[in-house]
Amino acid sequence: MRYPLWRSAVFACVASQPLYWLYLAWQFALGPDPGKVLVDSLGEGALVLLLLTLSMTPLQRLTGWAGWLAVRRQLGLWCFTYALLHLTGYLYFLLGGEFSRLGEELRERPYILVGGLGFVGLTVLAMTSSRWSMRRLGRRWKKVHGLVYLIVILALLHMLWVVRADAGRWAFYAGIAAALLLLRIPVVSAALASVRSGRNKVGIKLK
């Protein structure tokens, strides 16, 4: 395995975060409504991980370091894990485990439906993330994993819908997402690659 230290460090960082939140909840440090805080944190964490996953390719292009790509799948799977915990937290802490009410929630609250669709998308990506699936799907694999762009949009819509009075945090994530999506446009990504080669040239010249 390449970059074992780097990959383990990323793993430890991302895995420890939910445990840290659980610890805070156990210490009564999450306030009087810990379930809600946990659900919100996990949801936001999933979005951050999704954006991080999407930044790996541009970062690799920009810096040339292959280590970015070495953790991309891991980050994507962590995003799915956080989203799964977010959903589980919602069902238990906010819905009180009354699954009979889930249908009503989905019908009456479109943001829950949108979040649910995003989660279904993430599940598909997580299930097809193995090497075996890549071989099996061949060219179609890339198409399937293009779903990630739709998922980002669903996740942001899901978050925007719960903004009550201040969209600052949402705008921050939306700005990053917009930049990451822009970088996928061929012209822009080509420009990004030339930034790197351009910088190298400058480096050589300076020597």
Partner 1 sequence: MLIKIPASGECREPEVTAEAAYLNRRQVLRGLVCSGAVAGLPSFAEASERYSGVTTAPAPEWFADKLTNARWQAVAPEGEAITPFADASQYNNFYEFGPNKADPARHASALKVEPWTVLIDGEVDQPRRYALEDLCSESQLEERIYRLRCVEAWSMVIPWLGVPLAQLIRQVQPHSSAKFIRFETAYRPEEMRGTRSGFGLIDWPYVEGLRMDEAMHPLTLLAVGMYGRTLPNQNGAPLRLVVPWKYGFKSIKSIVRISFVREQPTTTWQSMAPQEYGFYANVNPKVSHPRWSQARERRLPGSLFSPNLRDTLLFNGYAEQVAGLYSSMDLSKDY
Contact 148, 125 (CB under 8 A): yes
Rule CB under 8 A: is residue 175 a binding residue for partner 1?
Answer: no
Interface map 122-161 toward partner 1 (x if CB under 8 A): ---------------------------------------x
**CB 177, CB 156: distance < 8 Å:** yes
Minimum distance from residue 46 beta carbon to partner 1 (Å):
19
Residue 32 binds partner 1 (CB under 8 A)? yes
Residues within window 85-104 making contact with partner 1, judged by CB under 8 A: 92-94, 96, 101, 104
Does 201 help bind partner 1 (rule: CB under 8 A)?
no
Nearest to 182 by CA among 63, 54, 74, 69: 54
The one among 2, 19, 166, 203 contacting partner 1 by CB under 8 A: 166
Q: Taking the complex as a whole, how short is the minimal distance between the CB of residue 49 and partner 1, in angstroms? A: 21
Does 27 bind partner 1 (CB under 8 A)? Our answer is no
- Tokens, residue 48: 């951050």
Q: Report whether 122 contacts 144 (CB < 8 A).
A: no
* Other CB atoms within 10 Å distance of the CB of residue 116: 17
For 138: left if phi > 0, alpha if psi spans -120 to 50, otherwise beta; the answer is: left
Residues of the shown chain interacting with partner 1 in the complex, contacts defined by CB under 8 A: 22, 25-26, 28, 30-36, 38, 92-94, 96, 101, 104-105, 108-111, 161-171
